[in-house]
Amino acid sequence: MSQNNSEAMQRHWEKTRSLTIVILVLWFIFAVGVHWFASSLNGITFLGFPVGYYMAVQGSLAIFVVLIFFQNWRQDKIDDEFGLSDN
């Protein structure tokens, strides 16, 4: 493998790893953090429901779906940048 190709693959992996870490941190915040502080959040209401309850039931799941689509979109951009896309 050439030196330039090796460096490009290393940069690709660094960007992919950074994206994965960010997504996992956000996933943790919404999977554990929101539920951990649900009782504190219940003092605020949203659409007539306590925010802690709403985030546990609907908000976390919606955020997970958004995170999946964002991660896939961003990874496609990273792959395109390094010429590794499927297109």
In a domain, 28, yes or no: yes
pLDDT in tens, 22-52: 999 999 998 888 778 778 888 888 888 888 8
In a domain, 87, yes or no: no
State the total domains in the chain: 1
In a domain, 22, yes or no: yes
CA 2 from chain centre, in angstroms, equals 33
- DSSP one-letter code for 47: T
Q: Give buried/exposed letters for 22-32 (b at 16+ CB in 10 A, else e).
A: ebeebbeebee
What is the pLDDT confidence band of residue 13, given thresholds at 50, 70 and 90?
very high
Domain that holds residue 61: 3-81
Q: Which residues contact 81 (CB under 8 A, 6 or more apart)?
A: 12, 15
In a domain, 44, yes or no: yes
Sign of CA dihedral 55, 57, 60, 61: negative
Using CA atoms, how far apart are residues 59 and 23, in angstroms rounded to an integer? 16
Q: For position 2, what pLDDT does the model report?
A: 63
**Residue that has been written with the tokens 């690709």 in this structure:** 12
